[in-house]
A and B are shown apart, each in its own frame.
Chain A
Amino acid sequence: MSRRSLVAGVLLLLALLLLLDSLWIKAKAHLAQGLIRHAWQQSLSSGEPVKPWPWADTWPVGRLQLPSLNVDLTILHGAQGNALAFGPGHVLASADLNSGGTTVLAGHRDTHFAFMQHLKKGDELLLSNRQGKQQSYEVSELAIVNSQQQSLALAASSALVLVTCYPFNSLSHGGPLRYVLTATAI
C-alpha cells in the first residue's frame, strides 16, 4: 500500500470524525428534546422537577411555542453549556417564567434557536411554565449587541428576551455578537 493511500485514509478518517461530530451535536440536540418532553409532561402532572435522564444536571422548566414556524421547544433550567446542548435554557439570574418580570432564554443559534432568524416584529410567542400558566408575548424589538461591550440589563416589566449567537451562519463559535429579541407580554 502506498504512502499516499495511507495519508488519504487518515484524512478520510479525520473527515468522517469531524462530520460525525457535527452530526452528533445536532442529533443530540434533536433527540434529547424527545426525552426532555417526556420529563416535562411528567413534571407538569407531578408539579415537581423531573430529570430527563438519571445523570442529567438540568430539568425542564417551561415550553416555548410558535405555531407559525412550527417551533415547540422545552426550556431547561440554566443556560450553561451542559443544558444548552440539549435544549434552550432559562438564564437563572433573570425572572422566573411568566412571573411578571423579564425572563431571558438562551439557545444555540445552529440548533434550537436557529428559528430566531425568521422571527420578525409582531410575531407571537407562547410560553408555559411548570405551574401550567400560559402567557403570550409579541416580538417588539430585535437587536444585535456586542456582548463584550454591553451587559444584559433587564427591565422590570413583563417581557421575554431570547438570546442567541450572531451571525447565524458564522463558522466560528466564540464570537462576541449576540442576537437579542425582546417580546412584551400581551
Chain B
Amino acid sequence: MFKFKSANKRIVLEDYSYDYPYSYRRKKSSFKRLLCLTLVTLLLSGIAWYSVQADTADDARHSSALSRINEVQAGQLLLQSDLEQRYQTAELKNSKVHFSINGMLANVALEQSFNNSSGDWVEGVYVFPLPDTAAVYSMRIKIGDRVIVGSIKEKQAAKKIYLAAKQAGKKAGLVEQQRPNLFTAKVANIPPDTTVQLLLQYTQTVNYQQGKFSLRFPMTITPRFLPGLPLRAASSESAQLQREVALANQALTLESGLGWGFNTDVVSDGALITPWLNPKASDAGQLINPISISADIDMGMPLKEIASAYHDITVSKQQGRYQLQLSAGQVSMAQDFELSWQALPGQQPQAALFVETIEGEHEQAQDYALLMLMPSQQQAAAANIAREVIYILDTSGSMAGVSIRQARASLIMALSRLRPQDYFNVIEFNSQAYPMHRQAVAASANNVQLAIKQVQNMEARGGTNMQPALQMALQQSDDQRGVRQVVFITDGAVGNEADLFKTIHKHLAASRLFTVGIGSAPNSYFMRKAAQFGRGSFTHIGSVNEVQPKMAALFQQLENPVLTGITITWPKAVVVEQYPEKIPDLYQGQPLLIKVAAKQLQGELLVQGYNGGELWQQSLILKHKAQHSGVAKLWAREKIAQLLDEVISGRDEAAVKPEVVAVAVAHQLLSPYTSFVAVEDVASRPSPQGLVPMAVLNARPKGQAGQSFAYPNTATRSQQSFYLGLLLLLLAAVVYGLSLKRREQRL
C-alpha cells in the first residue's frame, strides 16, 4: 500500500516539473489555472502521503513502547512522551543517608549516585523526594573526581547560568524545587563512563506526637495523577490560551524532567513531577536503587523503643547516644523510612527550647529559637457531643495493591468506632466521586453494617479527581449535627496540590479535615498541608499492622476536645518574628511548636488557649545553655512556608515571591523561587560531541500493583482514506468536466 502511494507522489512530481515550463510556453492564462489544480493535487496527495507516514510512525512508536512493556513485564509505563525514544536511563547505586538527631533537630546528609555507563556525553535528570519540611541548605556534585559546589540563586537566574554552562560544555549542576517534597536535579556534561554523586544536606524538625518522636524519609514517588487537559492538544480557541500552550510546550522541550506526564491546564509542570519508575518490582529479591541508612540520636536522656516501622535496624548505645543502621546493610528505595523513639515513662519532655545565635556583620546578634511546649494532659471528653463524620476513600489506580487493603481496613475500623448518636457518610472517589448516601445518615448498627459491606468490595482503578469529592464532603448539610469532621484516606498522588488546598481553605467553614496517608510512598506534603488548611491533623499508615494503633490515635483526636484560640504573650522588651503567626488548634497528644527570631530572647512567656470553653494557660521561662546549629534555617524555612500559604489563602503571588527570595537567599535555602546551581570553570565536553539526556529512574513503591500501562491504538486509517478518496473522486470529476467543456469550446 505504502509503495503505491510513494509512487503516486513521484508521478505527480514529475508531472509538475515536466508540465510547468511546457504549459507556461503554450498559454499564460491557462497556466495559472493549471498550476492551481496541480498544486491542489500535490497538496492532496501530500496529505495522503502524510497520513500514511503518520500511521507507520504511530505503529513504530507504539510497538517500541509495547516491546518495552513486554520486556519489563508491564511496569509503570503510564504515558509516552515524545522524548521517550531519545533518552537513556540509569539506576541509582549505593546511596547513603545519615541522620544526626540532636533534640528536636535532625541534620541529614544524603548522597545519591548514578553512572553514565554509555559512550555518550549525557545530561542526567533525576526527580527525587525529600521530607516536605526539609530546609535544604547545601548541594555539591561530584562528577568523576571533580567536585562542584552549588550556591543559591533566584530560580530563573540559576536556570540561565546552568543552560549557558551546558551549552559551553562545562560540567554543571542544578537542583530545583518543584514541590516542597519533590525536587529535580540536573547534571550537564557528564563524560562517558563516569559516576556522578549528588550530595545534599538539609535540616528538619523531629516530629513529636502522642509521646513519640519520629522522623520520616521518603524514598520514592508514587506516580501522580494530573487532572486537566494536556496542553499539547492545543485545541483551544482563544489566542491567549494558544500562546500559553505554545509557551508551555516550549518549556516542555527546554526544561523537561523527562517525565511520563504532560503539562496540563491544571498542572502546568506535569512533565517535571512525573519521573519514570523502574519497571522491575523491588520486592523480587533484587535491590532497586540500594541505599544504606544510619543515624545517631542524642536526646540528652535515656530512650526506649527505638524502632523503624518498615525496615529492620540494629541499635547500639554509647555514652548516652544511640547509633543505628540498617540490619540488611542496604535496602531498596521503595518505601519511606520511618524512625521513631520514646522517652522513658515519666520523663517525656514537657517543654524545650533550642536556640541558635547568628552574629551579624554590622548589626546585633540575632537569636533564632525553636520552642516546643506540651500542654499538660487535657481533661477527658466531658460532653459526649454528637458528630457528623464524612469519610472520603481514594480508590484511584495508584491505590491498587497493598494501599487499597490498608485503606479499606482503616475505613472499616473507623466506621465501627461510630457511636449511635453520630451521623456519617462515605464518599468513594477515583475519576468521579460516588457518595454512599445523598446526605449523612444516622450511624445505626444497620447503616454501619451496610457501609462496611460496601467498603469491603471497593477496588482501586481510574484517576484521582479529588476536587469533586472534597467539595462534596465539605458541603454543609442543612441541619447542624454537632461537630463536623471529614476523614480523608488517600495516598495523595496528585499534581494539583495547590488547587486542592485552595478548595479546602475556601469551603472549610466549620468542618475539620483529617488526612490519613496510605501506602509505601504517600505524598506527605499533601497530607500535612491539607490537614493544616483543614485545621485537623494527619496520620500515616504504611502497613496493615499499623491500622489499629494509628487509627486509634486518630480517634483519640477526633473524640477529645482540642486546645483552640492559642495566643502567646512574649516578654515586653522582646520583639519577635514568630512562625506560624497564627497558632493552629492542638489535638490530643500534639505539642505547640513555633519558631521565632528575636534580638535577645529572654524573660518569661505566657501561653493561653481554650480547652472546651475553659481558659487554659501555662508560662515558661526562656533560658538556654547550648547552641543548636540549624535552628535559623528551620525558622527561615517556616517563614517561607508561611509566605507560600498566604498565596493559597488569596495573597498575590507576585508580591510574595520577592519576600521568599529574600529569605531563601539570606539563609541559602532551596525554595520554589530559588535553586542551587553549580558550574565548573573550564569546559570539558569537546564541542562536536552532542549531549544525550539520561533519566535516573525511581523505584516502584513497594506493594503497588504494577498493572498500569498505556492504552493500545485502536483505529485504522480506513475512514480517513475513504473520505479523502471520495473527495479526490469529486475533484477528478470536476477537472474532467472542465476539460470536456474546453474541448467543446475549441470545436
Contacts and interface: CB of A to CB of B under 8 A. Distances in A.
B710 A151 contact: yes
A2 B742 contact: yes
A94 B431 CA distance: 21
B10 to A, nearest CB: 12
A37 B85 CA distance: 37
A25 B742 CA distance: 39
B728 A173 contact: no
Contacts of A13: 8
B735 A173 contact: no
Interface in A123-148: 143, 145-148
A8 B741 CA distance: 13
Interface string B204-238: 00000000000000000000011111101100000
B673 interface: no
Interface string A164-175: 110001111111
Contacts of B459: 155-157
Most buried by B among A4, A79, A113, A171: A4
A3 B173 CA distance: 64
Most buried by B among A10, A89, A149: A149
Q: How large is the interface on B (under 10, 10 to 19, 20 to 34, 35 or more residues)?
A: 35 or more
A69 interface: no
Interface in B250-289: 262, 264
A39 interface: no
A7 B714 contact: no
A75 to B, nearest CB: 13
Contacts of B58: 174
A153 B400 contact: yes
A147 B396 CA distance: 16
A176 interface: yes
A12 B732 contact: yes
A106 B716 contact: no
Contacts of A186: none
B444 interface: no
Most buried by B among A9, A15, A20: A15
A152 interface: yes
Interface in A1-56: 2-22, 24-26, 29
Contacts of A175: 715
A93 B59 CA distance: 18
Interface string B324-351: 0000000000000000000000000000
B23 A173 contact: no
A76 interface: no
A14 B728 contact: yes
B712 A7 contact: no
Nearest to B706: A93
Contacts of B78: 151
Interface string B140-174: 00000000000000000000000000000000000
Contacts of B725: 14-22
Contact of B63 (A3, A80, A156): A80
Given A3-B23, A172-B720, A15 B714 contact: no
Contact of B732 (A11, A106, A150): A11
B64 to A, nearest CB: 10
B619 interface: no
A178 B462 CA distance: 13
Given A12-B729, A25-B717, A176-B233, A152 B742 contact: no
A10 B12 contact: yes
Contacts of A181: none
Contacts of A164: 714-715
A151 B712 contact: no
| A interface majority secondary structure | mixed
Contacts of B721: 18-19, 21-22, 25
Most buried by A among B228, B463, B721: B721
A35 B704 CA distance: 41
B1 interface: yes
B461 A153 contact: yes
Interface stretch (B41-49, B104-112, B308-316, B579-587): B41-49
A171 B725 CA distance: 13
Interface in B509-563: none
Contacts of A3: 19, 23, 30, 34, 739
A96 interface: no
A32 B121 CA distance: 49
B480 interface: no
B715 A173 contact: yes
Interface stretch (B66-74, B593-601, B636-644): B66-74
A25 B37 CA distance: 30
A148 B80 CA distance: 8
A112 to B, nearest CB: 9
Interface in B703-724: 705, 707-724
Interface in A86-113: 89, 91-94, 106-111, 113
B419 interface: no
Nearest to A95: B707
B739 to A, nearest CB: 3
Contact of B723 (A12, A92, A93, A171): A171
B666 interface: no
B632 to A, nearest CB: 43
11 contacts: A4-B735, A8-B735, A14-B41, A19-B722, A25-B721, A81-B62, A93-B707, A111-B718, A171-B723, A174-B713, A176-B233
Interface of A: 2-22, 24-26, 29, 79-81, 84-85, 89, 91-94, 106-111, 113, 143, 145-157, 163-165, 169-176, 178
Given A80-B63, A111-B716, 16 more contacts: A9-B732, A10-B15, A14-B41, A15-B729, A19-B721, A25-B717, A93-B709, A145-B431, A149-B226, A149-B264, A152-B708, A152-B710, A155-B400, A165-B714, A170-B715, A172-B720
4 tightest Cβ-Cβ pairs between the two chains A and B: A153-B397, A4-B739, A18-B725, A11-B732
